[in-house]
Copies of this chain bind each other. A is one copy, B any other.
Amino acid sequence: MTESIKRLQTNARMSQVVIANGVVYLSGQVPDSAGAAIDVQTKEILTRIDTLLASAGVDKTRLLTANVWLSDPKHFDAFNAVWDAWVATGHAPTRACVTALLMKPGLDVEVAVTALA
């Protein structure tokens, strides 16, 4: 097996970035700003995704897919406002967005993306 897997920011539980077979995979990102307004939480996540993509040598113009989890459908419009402004024009990924309670109180949004390496 000669194919390589590159793992960044890795620990015993997960890697924040895995690069293999031409694809960059990112772990689901949650904000540090638990309890903040949804737009604040979303901006924090998307900034972190930008940084993680950069660490893998790519950027958001190469996004393939996005999975979005919101703690409540009431956050949908405010999340989308930040999301739509962030997405690079002409480079929108596929997306699935559903409701899910997240692992810690006050976390209202989680986003996981993949990009072309």
Name A residues whose Cβ lies closer than 8 Å to a Cβ of B: 1, 3, 5, 7, 10-18, 20-23, 25-28, 62, 64-67, 69-70, 73, 76, 80, 83-84, 87, 89-104, 110, 112, 116
Contacts and interface: CB of A to CB of B under 8 A. Distances in A.
Task: Report the copy number of this chain in the oligomer.
Answer: 3
Contact of A110 (B10, B65, B94, B96): B96
Contacts of A15: 92-94
Contacts of A100: 98-100
Contacts of A20: 64, 116
Contacts of A18: 64-65, 93-94
Nearest to A102: B98
